[in-house]
Amino acid sequence: MLVCAFLIVPVVLSVLAGVSVNFFIGVKSGLTLRWVAQVWSLYRDSIFLSMKIAIACLAATLVLGVPIAYVLARAANRWTRLFEELLVLPVAVPGLATALALILFYGEWRGFRASWTFILVGHVLFTLPFMVRSVVAVMSAIDLRTLEDAAASLGAGFLQRFFGVIIPNARAGILAGALMVVTLSIGEFNITWMLHTPLTKTIPVGLADSYASMRLEIGSAYTIVFFVMIVPLLIAMQWLSAERNPGKAAT
């Protein structure tokens, strides 16, 4: 309970600040949605951009991460383990360093540098290891060879085996990876701060700007908007995971 209070109380205080007429007086000054409406009018483009990047990042990590995880789980040896460790490097390296490397590498591609897809590349590099690790963990726990041999003996080709046998059995890991990818992409700040332009400002960058240059109530209202976006998404993905694993849900 103490740990929960330690985590939840600051969030509650931030929410109250975002709906108070005057933060310094507190709730006694009255409640208002003025600051939330102001955040929406100022930063709605950033909100939509963050959602677009998060969805595109999820799609990219699914297309790249699931096949990579399959290869790593199917051919487990020292070389695949080395590759897996190298894949985690963007997580170990500070985000600012990763962003600087991307700027140095793609800096001359001005059209690409100024687009939101440049931020997407940074997000994919950062979140891909989480997708791969989640799927590898599940695939390593099942007997892939036996499942594939059984499907092959019934005449299933590789694509049929992959999408009809492997993917359904790895669904729990895919959903867990998807949950991490979306939440990390929406909340990622370090890489995004280095890669963004005034026209490609995401939610975390806008949140930092609002706290630095505006009233505290607006910054707190921005936090409310962030929670309104992310909490239903977390609940929906957890619900999907439970639906796909009814035995675990029952326990």
The domain that holds 179 is classified in CATH as: 1.10.3720.10
pTM of the model: 0.81
Which contacts of 205-209 are long-range, i.e. CB under 8 A and separated by 24 or more positions? 205/46, 206/43, 206/46
What is the C-alpha separation between 175 and 184, in angstroms, rounded?
A: 14
| The pLDDT value given to residue 249 | 42
Residue 54 in any domain: the answer is yes
Count helices and strands (H / E) in the chain.
15, 2
Give bridge partners of residue 31 from the DSSP assignment: 20
What is the C-alpha separation between 60 and 121, in angstroms, rounded?
A: 9
| The pLDDT value given to residue 14 | 79
| The pLDDT value given to residue 242 | 64
- Counting as low any pLDDT under 70, the low residues of the chain are 213-215, 237-238, 240-251
Give bridge partners of residue 26 from the DSSP assignment: 22
User: Domain range for residue 96?
Assistant: 44-202+230-250
Q: Please report how many Cα atoms fall inside a 13 Å half-sphere around the Cα of residue 178, on the Cβ side.
A: 21
Q: Show the tokens assigned to 3.
A: 């740990």
| The pLDDT value given to residue 109 | 85
Residue 191 in any domain: the answer is yes
Residue 23 in any domain: the answer is no
User: How many domains would you assign to the chain?
Assistant: 1
Residue 75 in any domain: the answer is yes
| The pLDDT value given to residue 37 | 85
Q: Show the tokens assigned to 212.
A: 């630095």
What is the C-alpha separation between 63 and 86, in angstroms, rounded?
A: 19
Give 159-179 pLDDT, tens digit per residue: 888 888 889 888 888 988 988
Residue 151 in any domain: the answer is yes
Residue 161 in any domain: the answer is yes
Contact of 238 with 232, CB cutoff 8 Å: no
